[in-house]
């Protein structure tokens, strides 16, 4: 018999551990831009946005006027109006903040109510009148109060259009513009110079044409966007200071959105 060998079978070598490639940790993507803007929804918010821009511009102008000419009242009114314009923009819900810290500002959106708009409009008008020391006997006073008029108009639109569905937003804004133009014409006749009388007569003709075009049973001229644009531009250019014409031009914009 052959000799038995007690040699153990050779051990199998363990496979080398596979080295995992190092993966760089990627930073979590941001939620989005720091601030995003969306279009305002609804005619009242469009008018409120125009009002906010007007109030901010007026506040900026008053601030620099007060700073350059050392007028404490203009300086104070400018600061207050600028802040009120920013607050109004925050209530319209057109800004979306990507930062959790800035998202706290979105609480202002809850204050977009016709009562708040009405109060804001009255406060804006108060500071606008204060900036001219309540000198309401001149046509320029209406131009100074443009921002406040627009804020109150957006409040009226929320009441009579959004809730009651009484009339189209463009017609309501046009009617308010006609009322303001009538006041401007009275101011012009109060100072009966030849240019003022001419501008006042032009304003009367345009108002009559606007009212006739808006009255559905009498079709003298078409109530179309291009006609409202022409008549609004005439009021803006000829009837000083053109505040009523500004409202007519805004109604033209709303007419385009209603189609």
pLDDT digits (tens, 9 = 90+) for 214-236: 987 777 788 999 999 999 999 99
Smallest Cα–Cα separation from 78: which of 105, 94, 98, 58? 58
Q: What is the pLDDT of residue 240?
A: 81
Q: What is the pLDDT of residue 33?
A: 73
Q: Are both 44 and 80 inside the same structural domain? A: yes
Q: Where does residue 32 fall: left (phi above 0), alpha (psi -120 to 50 degrees), or beta otherwise?
A: left
Q: What is the pLDDT of residue 24?
A: 46
- The one-character DSSP state at 38 is -
User: How many independent structural domains does the chain possess?
Assistant: 2
> Which are the contacts of 139, defined by CB distance < 8 A and separation ≥ 6?
184, 187, 188, 240, 241
Q: Is residue 113 part of a domain?
A: yes
Q: Are both 159 and 200 inside the same structural domain? A: no
- Strands (DSSP E) contained in the chain are 35-37, 95-97
Exposed / middle / buried, residue 219 (Cβ in 10 Å: 0-12, 13-18, 19+): exposed
Q: What is the pLDDT of residue 17?
A: 53
Looking at 166, 185, 210, the residue that finishes a domain is 166
Q: What is the pLDDT of residue 16?
A: 54
Task: Please write the tens of the pLDDT for every residue from 92-128.
Answer: 988 777 677 777 787 888 889 999 999 999 999 999 9
Looking at 144, 166, 188, the residue that finishes a domain is 166
Q: Are both 200 and 217 inside the same structural domain? A: yes
Q: Which two tokens stand for residue 40?
A: 């305002």
Q: Are both 156 and 193 inside the same structural domain? A: no
Q: Are both 101 and 157 inside the same structural domain? A: yes
Residues of the chain with pLDDT under 50: 1-2, 24-30
Q: Are both 108 and 195 inside the same structural domain? A: no
Q: What is the pLDDT of residue 39?
A: 86
> What's the CA gap between 167 and 185, in Å, rounded?
26
Looking at 111, 133, 166, the residue that finishes a domain is 166
Q: What is the pLDDT of residue 177?
A: 96
User: Residue 195: which domain range?
Assistant: 168-259
Q: Is residue 26 part of a domain?
A: no
């Amino acid at each position: 018999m052959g000799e038995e060998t007690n040699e153990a079978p050779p051990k199998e070598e363990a496979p080398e551990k596979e080295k995992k490639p190092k993966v760089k940790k990627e930073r979590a993507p941001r939620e989005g831009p720091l601030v995003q803007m969306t279009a305002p929804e609804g005619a009242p918010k469009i008018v409120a946005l125009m009002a906010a821009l007007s109030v901010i511009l007026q506040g900026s102008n008053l601030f620099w006027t007060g700073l350059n000419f050392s007028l404490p009242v203009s300086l104070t009114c400018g600061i207050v109006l600028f802040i009120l314009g920013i607050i109004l923009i925050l209530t319209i819900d057109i800004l979306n903040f990507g930062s959790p810290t800035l998202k706290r500002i979105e609480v202002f959106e809850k204050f977009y109510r016709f009562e708040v708009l009405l109060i804001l409009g009255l406060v804006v008008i108060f500071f606008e009148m204060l900036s001219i020391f309540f000198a309401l006997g001149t046509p320029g006073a209406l131009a100074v109060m443009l921002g406040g008029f627009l804020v109150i108009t957006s409040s009226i639109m929320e009441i009579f259009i959004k809730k009651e569905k009484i009339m189209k937003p463009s017609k309501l804004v046009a009617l308010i513009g006609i009322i303001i133009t009538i006041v401007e014409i009275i101011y012009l006749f109060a100072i009966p110079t030849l240019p003022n009388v001419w501008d006042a007569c032009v304003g009367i003709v345009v108002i009559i044409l606007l009212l006739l075009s808006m009255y559905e049973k009498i079709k003298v001229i078409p109530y179309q966007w291009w006609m409202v644009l022409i008549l609004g531009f005439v009021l803006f250019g000829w009837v000083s200071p053109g505040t009523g014409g500004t409202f007519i031009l805004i109604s033209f914009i709303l007419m385009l959105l209603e189609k």
